[in-house]
Amino acid sequence: MISISDLLVDNQIPSNYFSSKSYVQGDLELGLLENRRGDRLLALPSTLIEGMYAGLKQETGQAAGMVLFNCGCWWGKNFYARFCEELTEYYKVAVADMPMIEFLQNLKQCWITHGWGRIELDQGLCDRGFVVVKTWNSPFIQFAEGATTPSCYLESGVLTSFFSNLTGRELGCVQTACESMGMDHNQFVIGLSKRVEPIQEMVQQGLSHDDIMARL
Amino acid sequence: MHPTIESLFDAAERRYLEQNELDVLTEYVESLPDRVDAYRCLRDREVAIMQSVADQLEIQFSTESQETLERCLRNALLMMRHAAMSMLQNDSELLDQQLTVWLTETNAVYNTRAIDTALYSLLNQQLEATLTPTQLKLIHPYISAAEQAMNAQSEPITVTA
């Protein structure tokens, strides 16, 4: 027999942890934006991102993309650790024991609440060893409009690192569609590093996401 | 807080409020004792209302796993708490932003539409038997919105770990 009192542990029912109304807090008079457990948040000015992109391009030329990708990897590694820490603390369950749907919903809400746009996972190619990630409204590609190749270097890095840590395998991530090239959204294909290498070549050849998917 | 009322408070830097705007505020303030009363009732009778729903749900879905029924009931408890808070603040967006989308996607994955439909029907019966007509009128729009969202669940999605 189900007991409602037993379902209310400490009279609390964990729900949407990253809900923006609950998650973003702070002491605005002291100039502090914080998340719900007191970690500091920052509103990153777009002019700063623009400056970083311009500075990187000036200093490193074509290597700027690789630098940003590596920055994204470091971001992803730390983001994954903190993300798991927050989920474990709030839901009182290890991430490994959390239902995948709840993990993914938290990731989606986390992405939205931090203002990184919207993120969706398409697991239709899981049986072939790939996950396709779609993002909308990336804050990092607005300075790359009119690009001829996908330009979400930071997101590619963060997704590479995040999913590598999640699966415990060394994964690669290749962007196959980009808002900076006039697409409605960005698409990334994630899989074992060796398996995504050919995708990178197809992107360089100018193949569309759908054409690439058809060839996998 | 209700978006319209919230926007009234934002207007201070530009001007004083018009009479019709003050009327909106007055209407909300006058409804507040009833809202607090309904909120208190839902809070105090939460366990009794939901236990009755749980007992009947177990009879109706006797072959369903306890884990699934408990998940549906836990989600309904969450929805009730958020609906009560939304009712207190007269803010339907609060329920939507914080919970409805979240629960709708979860329930679609677990494919619990039949259970949720029965659960909400039982819940409505319990609320009608427990609350006064005034209290029921205040909370009903929020429960109804959540129920509609549950019924509009998308087709089951397969999630693989």
Average confidence (pLDDT) over B75-103? 88
Q: A104-152: per-residue pLDDT in tens?
A: 999 999 999 999 999 999 888 888 889 999 999 998 887 776 678 898 9
Q: Between the CA of residue A163 and those of A83, A130, A133, A138, A159, what are the distances in Å? A: 12, 11, 11, 19, 6
Which of A17-21, A134-138, A159-163, B149-153 is predicted with the least confidence, judged by mean pLDDT? Answer: B149-153
Mean pLDDT of all residues belonging to chain A:
91
Query: Is pLDDT at B127 greater than 90 in this prediction?
Result: yes
- Chain B contact for A22 (CB, 8 A cutoff): yes
Predicted pLDDT at B153? 59
Query: Is pLDDT at B97 greater than 80 in this prediction?
Result: no
3-state secondary structure of B102: helix
Q: Which residues pair with A119 in a beta bridge?
A: A135
Query: Is pLDDT at B79 greater than 90 in this prediction?
Result: yes
- B158 pLDDT tier (thresholds 50, 70, 90): very low
CB contact under 8 Å between B102 and A15, yes or no, is: yes
Predicted pLDDT at B159? 39
Sheet holding A40-41, edge to edge: A25-27, A32-34, A40-41
- For residue A144, the distance in angstroms to the closest alpha carbon of chain B comes to 32
Average confidence (pLDDT) over B132-157? 81
How far is the C-alpha of B84 from the C-alpha of B139, rounded, in Å? 7
More confident residue, B156 or B37: B37
How far is the C-alpha of B25 from the C-alpha of B15, rounded, in Å? 16
How far is the C-alpha of A24 from the C-alpha of A114, rounded, in Å? 9
- B151 pLDDT tier (thresholds 50, 70, 90): confident
How far is the C-alpha of B60 from the C-alpha of B43, rounded, in Å? 26
Mean pLDDT of all residues belonging to chain B:
87
Predicted pLDDT at A143? 73
- For residue A89, the distance in angstroms to the closest alpha carbon of chain B comes to 19
Which of A52-56, A171-175, B66-70, B135-139 is predicted with the least confidence, judged by mean pLDDT? Answer: A52-56
φ, ψ at A9 (rounded to 5°): -75, 125
Q: A5-40: per-residue pLDDT in tens?
A: 998 877 788 889 999 888 999 888 889 999 999 999
- Determine which of B74, B112, B154 to mutate to test the interface with A (most A C-beta atoms within 10 Å): B74
Q: Report the Cα–Cα distance between both ends of chain A, in Å, rounded.
A: 50
Query: Is pLDDT at B161 greater than 90 in this prediction?
Result: no
DSSP element (H, E) containing A189: strand A186-192
Q: B32-63: per-residue pLDDT in tens?
A: 999 999 999 999 999 999 999 999 999 999 99
**Contacts of B83 by beta carbon, 8 Å cutoff, 6+ apart:** B95, B139, B142, B143, B146
How far is the C-alpha of A203 from the C-alpha of B70, rounded, in Å? 47
- Chain B contact for A101 (CB, 8 A cutoff): yes
Query: Is pLDDT at B156 greater than 50 in this prediction?
Result: no
3-state secondary structure of A137: coil
DSSP summary character for residue A116: S
CB contact under 8 Å between B78 and A15, yes or no, is: yes
Predicted pLDDT at A141? 83
- For residue A56, the distance in angstroms to the closest alpha carbon of chain B comes to 38
How far is the C-alpha of B9 from the C-alpha of B22, rounded, in Å? 11
Q: Are A180 and A214 in contact (CB under 8 A)?
A: no
What is this structure's pTM? 0.88
User: Which residues on A lie below 8 Å from B102 (Cβ)?
Assistant: 15-16, 19, 105, 109
Amino acid at site A96? A
User: Which residues on B lie below 8 Å from A3 (Cβ)?
Assistant: 51
Q: Are strands A186-192 and A171-177 parallel, antiparallel or unpaired?
A: antiparallel
Residue from the list A7, A13, A16 with its beta carbon closest to the beta carbon of B98? A16
CB contact under 8 Å between B97 and A13, yes or no, is: no
How far is the C-alpha of A17 from the C-alpha of A97, rounded, in Å? 17
- For residue B72, the distance in angstroms to the closest alpha carbon of chain A comes to 11
Query: Is pLDDT at A159 greater than 50 in this prediction?
Result: yes
Nearest 5°: the CA angle A145, A80, A152 is 10
Residue from the list A1, A4, A100 with its beta carbon closest to the beta carbon of B159? A100
- Chain B contact for A100 (CB, 8 A cutoff): yes
Query: Is pLDDT at B8 greater than 50 in this prediction?
Result: yes
